[in-house]
Amino acid sequence: MGEGELCQYLDPGLWGFTGDRVPFGGMVGVRVCGIPGSLHGQGMALPVPGSPLGCGDLLGGVRVVGSHLWGAALPDASLPFRGGSGWVGVTLLDTHSPGEDEGCPQSPPALPARSTMRLSVLLSAARPRLPPGYRHGTWPPDSTAARLRNPPGQRRRKVFVEPIAKDDWKVFKGDTVQVLAGKDAGKQGLVSQVVQARNWVVVEGLNTHYRYVNRTAKYSGTYIASEAPLLLSQISLVDPEDRKPTEVEWRFTEEGERVRVSLRSGRILPVPPQPRKDGIVPEQWIDGPKDTSQEDALAKTYRPSLKTFEEEIMDAMGIVETRRAKKSYWY
């Protein structure tokens, strides 16, 4: 974990010491994260003396505040990442830090724990980075249409969207829904696209409008039908029990599987198989004549041996060599 990153991932309850004593000996690199003010984010290397330090002791202008990390302590690159010497709970002598009269807190403030995995440099580079003020639409973020509608340097009005957690999202591609508002109210169709960034759902063949594309001065263009997106409040999932709109919620089965359940009939609404980013649905994929099956790809066809490459070829082709190379001399 690089310098400056540890501040976001430390859990004070995880990095602690026994009692009110801290390890001693060696160098300690510290960085203050949880303390506001001009010293927030300051880093330094501190020598730890050869005797134990207690709560309230001074260490190079730094006051030890407890047996756990106050704010965060960043280990020096030459020291072990976890455990061992080189760990000390400190806070800089700032106007916001506890003074001599205030004493030392018994328990440091809790830092927010990160529930998501930290991406490496390689994964972060592959992750799409959207410019500030990017406006999502029905087009993919990495498409030509997205670049044309979001040119660099253009400042657009912010679009406010009702926040919905990813785990609370209930409508997926392939679901059967009924339109509740608009010119196609009361009609049912399949969801062909979901845009969670805008709480949009595109229903196949419904809420369509007609327009010309590729229209020029010499060409009249092509007249096509295009589905306009609908908000989640304008559609409702269809209960497979009676084919009527219903409200659903997430529940757990006795086996621990998370499913969508209709609030009216109690019927489970299974989530349709979702395609990958390349458009392939793994559950519906059928191997072609030039595809390698998973069983063939995982089959162990190579058996390692101590023979050289030439000896393996000779065994495979049935060549028996009875001659022996004579001893050679180099001058």
**Residue predicted with more confidence, 101 or 180:** 180
Question: Which residue has 């061992």 as its token pair?
Answer: 84
Q: Is the Cα dihedral 172, 173, 174, 177 positive or negative?
A: positive
Q: According to the model, what pLDDT value does residue 43 have?
A: 44
Residues whose CB is less than 8 angstroms from the CB of residue 90 and which lie 6 or more positions away in sequence, other chains included: 30, 32, 46, 59, 62, 63, 64, 65, 70, 73
pLDDT given at position 121: 63
* pLDDT of 228 over the 80 cut: yes
Sheet holding 62-64, edge to edge: 58-59, 62-64, 90-92
Q: Which of 137, 32, 151 is nearest to 95 (CA)?
A: 32
Select from 190, 171, 176, 178 the least CA-distant residue to 245.
178
Least confident of 72-86, 142-156, 255-269, 282-296: 72-86
Asked if residue 187 has pLDDT above 60, the reply is yes
Residue 194 has pLDDT above 80, yes or no: yes
Residues 143-151: what's their mean pLDDT?
A: 87
Instruction: For residues 156-172, give the mean pLDDT.
Output: 90
Q: What average pLDDT score do residues 72-76 get? A: 35
How large is the average pLDDT for residues 39-49? 43
- Averaged pLDDT of the chain: 71
Token digits for 163? 């926040």
**Which of residues 239 and 278 earns the better pLDDT score?**
239
Q: Which residue has the higher pLDDT, 287 or 120?
A: 287
Q: Is the pLDDT of residue 244 over 90?
A: yes
- In this structure, the number of other CB atoms found within 10 A of the CB of residue 62 comes to 19
- State yes or no: pLDDT of 246 exceeds 90: yes
- Digit-coded pLDDT (tens) for 8-35: 333 333 333 333 333 434 444 444 333 3
* Single pTM value for the model: 0.52
